[in-house]
Amino acid sequence: AKVNGGARGAVSQKFLDYAVGQAMPLIEQSLLHEKFDDIKGKSGHIDYSVTDIKVSKFKISSPKLAFIKDKGLKISLSGISIAGSMHWKWKETKWPHPSGSGTADFSVGGSTHGTGLIQLATAKGRPHANLEDADVSLDHFSIKIHHSALSWLYDVIFDAFEHTIKKSMEKSIQDAMKDAIDDDLNKEFATMPLSTPIPFEAPFDVAELRYDFLDIETKDDHIAVTIR
């Protein structure tokens, strides 16, 4: 919206590069602390479970924020790599009930990516951000099973990973992206000072200049800000 009067400022790509670099550790750490649901199922006469699913590595090597005129900022996460481990166990339901257990490692890479649109506005005189259309796609994952050479076990765990674990991780990353913007960034906006001291000599050195954010507009190569 157009606002008459007030001072104008601009946010450049250099600041966006800095901001996205600061946000990445928040997103990366969130997945490392995520707890994933155990998976239990049946394949023929075999009861199986995949438990203790943990991510030990989550790295985003190519994060980027880009200006989208009149819409906001597009966040793109590429070069995502994930690694972790899990426990597996199986038992045949027929006598003599053979069974087995062990661990497995998994990794995700390839064309894995995440995207979203950060909408910018003002609320109560401060900037406000909201993440929309967050989407994450995990691809090119591999699994290495320890303590077993059973091919059917690999197929069972791979299927569980592809249809359940992968979707859980995609949603967790989407939630982490949204938390980083909707919660963490807006908390920073909520506490940022909206005043600056005026360099007067005593006894007038208590004077300060207060201002509000009136308008935020996204241009092709910068964000235009109006304050008053």
pLDDT tens digits for range 42-90: 888 999 999 999 999 999 989 999 999 999 999 999 989 999 999 999 9
- Whether 35 has a pLDDT exceeding 90, the answer reads no
Cis status of the peptide bond prior to 98, with omega within 30 of 0 = no
Picking from 44, 189, 25, 161, the residue whose alpha carbon sits closest to that of residue 104 is 161
pLDDT band for position 33 (cuts 50, 70, 90) = confident
Average pLDDT over residues 178-207: 80
pTM: 0.84
Instruction: Annotate 133-161 with b (16+ C-beta within 10 A) or e (fewer).
Output: ebebebeebebebeebeeeebeebbbebb
